[in-house]
A and B are shown apart, each in its own frame.
Chain A
C-alpha cells in the first residue's frame, strides 16, 4: 500500500494564480481531511470529507475549495492564491475502525 500520497511536493505560485493540490489514498478510508501547517500554529483543519460527494468546512476554509468524487481522491483547490496561503499542506485519511489519521508527506506551497 502506498498509503496517502500528495502531489506536488513543492510549488511556487504568483498571487492570483490557481492550482490544485492532489491527494489520494489506497486504504479504502471513508474519511479524508486537509490541514495547513504554519510556524507556531500547529496544524489547522481546512476541509474534510466523510464520504464521496460529502464535504464540509474546517477551522480555516476561506480561499479553498474541495470536492470528493471518489473514495480515493480528495483534491484541494486554490482559486486565487494569496501570500497568506503560503504554508505546508497535509492531507490525511482515516476510518471509523481505526479512529486515527494517516498523513501524506505534505506539499510546501509558496505564494509570491
Chain B
C-alpha cells in the first residue's frame, strides 16, 4: 500500500547534539512532502515543505530536510538540538495527483532531549 513511514518511534538525544529524523514514502511519483512539529498538548506547526526544485530545504527553528529521490526519503535534520525541540515530529505527504486537502501522515517520532 502507498504510505509514508517514520521508522523511529522515539529518539533521545543530548542537548547540543545533531539530529536526523527519518521519513520514507512509497509512491510511484514524488509526492509533496512536509514536516510538522507538535509540542505536548499543542497543535501542529509546519517546519518545512518540498514541492520541487532544490533538494535541500530550509525551514524554521534551524531545521532542514533533504529530499532523495533514489531513496524515497525526506529526512529532517538539525545540527544542534535545543531542549525546546523536545516534541513529536510528523512527516506528511500529499500523494501524487491528490489535493492539498488530503495529507497522509506518518505515525510520528517522539524526540526527547537530555539536558
**Is B truly associated with A?**
yes
Categorize the interface residue count of chain B: 20 to 34
Q: Which of A44-103 contact B (CB under 8 A)?
A: 44-45, 48-50, 58, 90, 92, 94-96, 98-101, 103
When the two chains form the complex, which single residue of B100, B102, B107 contacts A45, counting CB atoms closer than 8 Å? B102
- Once the chains bind, are B101 and A94 in contact (CB under 8 Å)? yes
- Rounded to whole Å, the gap between the CB of B11 and the closest CB of chain A is 15
List residues of chain B with CB within 8 A of the CB of A106.
Answer: 43
A-B contact pairs, 11 of them (CB 8 A): A31-B99, A32-B101, A33-B101, A35-B103, A35-B105, A43-B103, A58-B102, A90-B44, A92-B103, A103-B43, A106-B43
What residues of chain B have their CB less than 8 Å away from a CB belonging to chain A?
Answer: 9, 32, 34, 42-44, 46, 49, 51, 90, 92, 94, 99-108
Q: Which 5 A-B pairs have the closest CB atoms?
A: A42-B105, A31-B101, A94-B100, A42-B107, A43-B105
